[in-house]
Amino acid sequence: MKPKTNELSRRKFLGNAAAVSAVGVLGVGQFLTACDKIKIPKDLILPPLLEQAPDGEVIKAGVIGCGGRGTEAAQNFLDAGPNLQVVALADVFQDRIDQCRKRLKEVKGVDISDDKCFTGFDCYKKLLEQDISYVIIATPPYFRPEHFKSAVEAKKNIFFEKPVAVDPVGIRTIMSAGKQAEAFGLSIVTGTQRRHSPDYIETYKRIMGGAIGDIVAANAYWNQSKLWHRNRMPEWSDMEYMIRDWVNWRWLSGDHIVEQHIHNLDVIHWFTGKTPLRAVGMGSRQRRVTGDQYDNFSVDFVYEGEIHMHSMCRQINDCANNVSEYIRGTKGYTNCQDTIWKPDGTVLWTYEYPMKDADGNPTLKISPYVQEHIDLITAIRTNKPVNEAERIAKTNLMAIMGRESAYTGKETTWDEMMASELKVGPKELIMGKVDMEVVIPIPGTAPQE
């Protein structure tokens, strides 16, 4: 059985690297005469990037997690092509269902009947019993492994948001359910939309072709202003409050290095084709209002061959913001998004955006948020399954690895994380009292078992 992963295997990566360096040696003359001539390998596995999903049998979708992202993803799905329907909704809260339903009615003219709307913690089980073949999972990350696994067992094609889990036990659930999905021929796409974005993809092709030589260092940033929080309403139970304020609670979101920064880490994972061996991180909580998360992390990830990748993420107002990636090679560097530079800082190549947005900024023709659904539906309708589960699980574990190092102050290793029994969250999911004592991790105080 050949692993049908969408990702370059390690051996393949090394093979490519060898090919790349051979090209490098042979291509010197070429570079002198025609600087912008960059080789693009033909065997890369990339999404087809159609502007619209091909027509086919009607695909009925259900949404699990009808908050902002779930509602938006449902619209993105409907925008992806012909013969697509959203027929069922599930959310732990009724008001979320109502808002989502109303929005889909207003914007898309979609009617969803009461008997196709489900609430409560087991809403997803009822939704999966419906006549649907496509599930959008956009619940808080804590719930995703269980929801994903159930959706695979119900043999649904899945679009699920990142991150996919908040702890290593959840990661392994995703990995093995992902393998099951592979055996069933299901298609799975995750919300790491950079991998479905033509500018990133064109840059990736050129990096794989050797445009910057061998990778020697990288950086990943997600430094932004404070994220949202909710103030507690008197009628909310502990659990209800925590879930409504989920981006601020470690057990629900995985902390922001996992929840947001995963996008940038995924780009590094994609471009290097590798996962780090070990990490040492630090972080703290300075300005956050609610919850028990940190609001800044800085992690040194080390790869095979002592290649370092520095990752940095922060959610604090009035600081230097930057959401981007940077990879340095022996022959140049790139922002991974749309430009490749030579070592001296002159531009070697830049992506030409097809159009300009309302403000006159260059932009893509199709939003990557829609593109990811187009790619998933294309896979289903052309019967060429894609499965992004393993790769997102690995990126996700990388983020957890950085987080755990920052929390404890200790070095973490990949093998240790792959084997870790760490599982967070309350023992029981009940809409009621939860132990809400806020315990902020303090490095250097981890119990010496």
Partner 1 sequence: MILSFTGRKWFIILTSAIVVSLLIFAGDKAVIYTSTDDFCNRCHVHPHSNQSWIRSTHYDNQRGIIVHCSECHLPPHGQGYLKEKIKTGTRDVNSAIFKDIKKINWEEKSRPDIAVRHTYQSSCIRCHENLFTKGLSKEGEDAHLYYNEHVEEVYCINCHLQVGHYSENVIHAKNVQFGKEKKIDTIYPEPARITEFKNYTEYIPGTGVSFKMIAIPGGNFMMGSPMDESFRKEDEGPQREVSIKPFFMGRAEVSWDEYLAFFSAMGTEGRSSDAYLNSLNATNIDAITGPTPPYGAPDQGWGTDSYPAITMTYHAARIYCLWLSKVTGKKYRLPTEAEWEYAARGGTTGPYFFKGDPAYFEKARYKNKLSNSDTSGIIAYVNYNLNSRGKTVPLGTLKENPFGLVNMLGNVSEFCQDWYDPGTYSAYPPGIVANPTGPLTGEEHVVRGGSFRSETSAVRCAARGRTWSEAWLKTDPQMPKSIWWYSDCIYVGFRVICEY
Q: What residues line the site for partner 1 (CB under 8 A)?
A: 1, 3, 172-173, 175-177, 179-180, 183, 418-421, 448-449
Euclidean distance between CA atoms 186 and 169, whole angstroms: 23
- Which lies closer to partner 1 via its Cβ, residue 183 or residue 438? 183
Q: How are beta strands 322-329 and 332-334 bridged, if at all?
A: antiparallel
- Which lies closer to partner 1 via its Cβ, residue 166 or residue 242? 166
Reading the block at residue 425, the tokens are 């969250």
- Which lies closer to partner 1 via its Cβ, residue 359 or residue 421? 421
Contact 199, 337 (CB under 8 A): yes
Closest distance of CB 180 from partner 1, Å: 4
Comparing CA positions, the residue from 322, 12, 362, 369 lying closest to residue 159 is: 369
Closest distance of CB 448 from partner 1, Å: 6
Euclidean distance between CA atoms 75 and 109, whole angstroms: 11
Backbone angles phi, psi at 45, to 5 degrees: -95, 110
Q: How are beta strands 215-224 and 322-329 bridged, if at all?
A: antiparallel
- Which lies closer to partner 1 via its Cβ, residue 90 or residue 152? 152
Provide the 3-class DSSP secondary structure of residue 186: coil
Closest distance of CB 386 from partner 1, Å: 18
Beta carbons within 10 angstroms of residue 333's beta carbon: 24
- Which lies closer to partner 1 via its Cβ, residue 5 or residue 296? 5
For CA atoms 108, 263, 3, 23, the dihedral sign is positive
Closest distance of CB 413 from partner 1, Å: 12
- Which lies closer to partner 1 via its Cβ, residue 198 or residue 273? 273
Beta carbons within 10 angstroms of residue 356's beta carbon: 10
- Which lies closer to partner 1 via its Cβ, residue 103 or residue 179? 179
Backbone angles phi, psi at 244, to 5 degrees: -70, -25
- Which lies closer to partner 1 via its Cβ, residue 78 or residue 152? 152
Contact 309, 299 (CB under 8 A): no
Helices 144-153 and 168-184, axial angle in degrees (round to 10):
20
Comparing CA positions, the residue from 156, 208, 290, 223 lying closest to residue 44 is: 208
Q: What share of the chain is helix, strand, coil (3-state, %, to 5)?
A: 40, 20, 40
Residue located via tokens 């995963």: 262
H/E stretch holding 311: strand 307-315
Measured distance between the N- and C-terminal CA atoms of the chain, rounded to whole angstroms: 41
Closest distance of CB 44 from partner 1, Å: 22
Closest distance of CB 299 from partner 1, Å: 22
Closest distance of CB 307 from partner 1, Å: 20
- Which lies closer to partner 1 via its Cβ, residue 5 or residue 203? 5
Closest distance of CB 397 from partner 1, Å: 11
Closest distance of CB 6 from partner 1, Å: 15
Euclidean distance between CA atoms 352 and 337, whole angstroms: 11
Helices 389-408 and 262-272, axial angle in degrees (round to 10):
120
Closest distance of CB 338 from partner 1, Å: 34
Closest distance of CB 20 from partner 1, Å: 23
Contact 170, 164 (CB under 8 A): yes
- Which lies closer to partner 1 via its Cβ, residue 319 or residue 424? 424
- Which lies closer to partner 1 via its Cβ, residue 153 or residue 357? 153
